[in-house]
Amino acid sequence: MLSLRVPKIKLERIVIISQWRAIRISVYSIASAFLIFSLVLFYEGADPLQAFQNMFSFAFDPKLGLSLTIHRAIFIMFCTMAFIVPLRAGLWNIGMEGQFYMGTIGAFFIAYTFPNYQPEILIPLMIIGGSIAGAAYGAVTGVLRGRFNVNEVVVALMLNNIAFWIVYLLVVGGPWAGIAESSSRPLPNSAHAPYIFNIPFTFFLAIAIAVLLFFFLRMTVTGYKIRVLGHSETVARISGINQVTLFAFAMTVGGAIAGMAGYHMWAADPAFLMIPRPDAYKAIGDLTYWGIIIGLVCLLNPIPTIPASLFISSIITGSTVLVRRMRLPFGLDFLFLGIISITFAAFQFFYNYRLRVMRR
């Protein structure tokens, strides 16, 4: 048993964490992030309450930010699920960014190659193309980790940078270059995605995948094996689970989901329908790292990722208001996201320990 120097407070180690406690911890960590950020706003001379009100009223206003919020939320949901599956097997999938770029390439390749197909055929083909490209990219990491025991974090990061330059090669002055400088040419008309109830149809795809993953991880033999492998490699080896194929499989599934994010981001929104400038798609690529934070907050459970990513995406969308409408300095929205991630990292402590005040 551990005890701090101060005699009255005692640390108790928690072995299994309940869902209720996890929810409480994430609420506390978000609350303290808001508190810290209010101090920054105060320092900048803005009224924090007014700022937060502005943020959320923009993010959830159907005329202004709501469609953007939902669009980003779907994107983050895909990234979170792409992170969850490999970590259930014990692999840190930091490569959502690269898999997302490759998914973009796969989807756009299909659309540019078969522009005359019917939308009913072309759009599913694009999604499949995106997920195959993402899956192949994820599989590289998984196979290297399973077969040669190469550190998956480093490989994934390197692949992210490579994928960034591949997109750059195709778009900036490459075969896909459009009329506008350094963005790709627009998608053919037949690839324009439909809206269902005024939201992108990928929303329902993402929810369906979340539900499927939930049952896959909980009910199937493969899901069980993945969870065993994630808990202990030794147990997995002794009980005859093939690590190599399972690592490769988990990363492939993760990559396939991140690849769909590539389709969703640029092709399912009528605002884009093309790949934008390198700094714009890099900025979206940086958003994939939210998958890590949300995945951990949700304790690697796919279902709660739906509200969590909606919330984070409302902050991402809403905080742009601070700069644009309230004329606060540039980068304040990035700072808010940074504060949320670091308070979350600090609050991880409460997943392992409980503070208890002792009576004398």
Partner 1 sequence: MIEAFQSLWPFTTRFLEVSTILLLAAMGELLTQRSGVINVGIEGLMLFGAATSFLTAQTFDAFAGFLAGTVVGAVFGLFHSILSVSLKVNQIVSGMGVWLFAMGFVTYWADRYTGPLRVSIPKIAGLTPAVFVALVILVALWFVLNRTHFGLKTRAVGENPAAAEVSGVNVVRIRYICTTVGAALCGFSGSVLLLSYLGAWSHLPTKGLGWLAFGLVMFSLWRPGILLAGSLAFGFVWQFAISPHTIFPGFPAPLPVNRMLPFLMTIVVLTIISTESFRKRWALMKPEALGQPYIKE
Choose between 127 and 315: whose C-beta lies nearer to partner 1: 315
Which residue of 286, 307, 324, 325 would you call a contact of partner 1, by CB under 8 A? 286
Contact indicator for 301, 214 with CB cutoff of 8 Å: yes
148 binds partner 1 (CB under 8 A): yes
| Of 41, 133, 144, 306, the one binding partner 1 by CB under 8 A | 144
Binding status of residue 289 toward partner 1 by CB under 8 A: yes
- 177 forms beta bridges with 184
Least distance CB 344 / partner 1 (angstroms): 7
CB of 332 to partner 1, least distance (A): 6
Instruction: Determine, following the binding rule CB under 8 A, whether residue 13 of this chain makes contact with partner 1.
Output: yes
Is 339 one of the binding residues for partner 1 (CB under 8 A)? yes
164-183 footprint of partner 1 as x/- string (CB under 8 A): -xx-xx--x-----------
- Residue 150 corresponds to which tokens in the numbers above? 């190469």
> Minimum distance from CB of 203 to partner 1 (Å)?
26
Q: Are the C-beta atoms of 85 and 254 separated by less than 8 Å? A: yes
SS3 state at 343: helix
* # chain residues binding partner 1, by CB under 8 A: 46
Task: Give the dihedral sign, CA 132/224/159/313.
Answer: positive
Sign of CA dihedral 125, 126, 132, 133: positive
Rounded least distance, CB 212 to partner 1, Å: 27
Residue 73 in tokens: 């939320």
| CA distance readout (Å), 306 to 24, 31, 76, 169, 350 | 17, 20, 9, 34, 23
Instruction: Choose which of 5, 279, 357, 359 interacts with partner 1 (CB under 8 A).
Output: 279
**Residue range at the interface with partner 1 (CB under 8 A); choices 20-28, 148-156, 180-188, 197-205:** 148-156
**From the CB of 255, what's the least distance to partner 1, in Å?**
16
Binds partner 1 (CB under 8 A): choice among 39, 154, 208, 355: 154
CA quadruple 163, 164, 166, 167: dihedral sign: positive
Q: In whole angstroms, what is the distance from residue 341 CA to residue 337 CA?
A: 6
Please identify which residue in 342, 354, 355, 356 interacts with partner 1, judged by CB under 8 A. Answer: 342
Does 280 interact with partner 1 (rule: CB under 8 A)?
no
Q: Count of CB atoms within 10 A of residue 161's CB?
A: 11
Closer residue to partner 1 in complex, CB, 42/353: 353
* CB-based contact 131:103 (threshold 8 Å): yes
Report, in Å, the least distance between residue 239 CB and partner 1.
Answer: 23
Pairing of strands 353-357, 9-13: antiparallel
When asked if residue 133 is in the footprint of partner 1 (CB under 8 A), the reply is no
Q: Do 267 and 193 meet the contact criterion of CB atoms below 8 Å apart?
A: yes
The residue type found at 92 is W
Question: Of residues 22, 51, 159, 250, which one binds partner 1 by CB under 8 A?
Answer: 159
* CB closer to partner 1 out of 124 and 338: 338
Q: Rule CB under 8 A: is residue 346 a binding residue for partner 1? A: yes
In whole angstroms, give the CA distance from residue 106 to residue 176: 13
**Stretch in the footprint of partner 1 (CB under 8 A) among 51-59, 153-161, 191-199, 302-310:** 153-161
Binding segment for partner 1 (CB under 8 A), chosen from 105-113, 186-194, 265-273, 337-345, is 337-345
Identify which of 121, 108, 221, 270 has the alpha carbon closest to the alpha carbon of residue 175. Answer: 108
Per DSSP, the three-state class of 9 is: strand
State the nearest-atom distance from the C-beta of 297 to partner 1, in Å: 11
Chain-centroid distance of CA 104 in Å reads 15
Rounded-to-integer distance, Cα 305 and Cα 312, Å = 10
Q: Which residues bind partner 1 (CB under 8 A)?
A: 2, 13, 92, 144, 148-151, 153-155, 157-159, 161-162, 165-166, 168-169, 172, 279, 286, 289, 292-293, 296, 329-332, 334-339, 341-342, 344-346, 348-349, 352-353
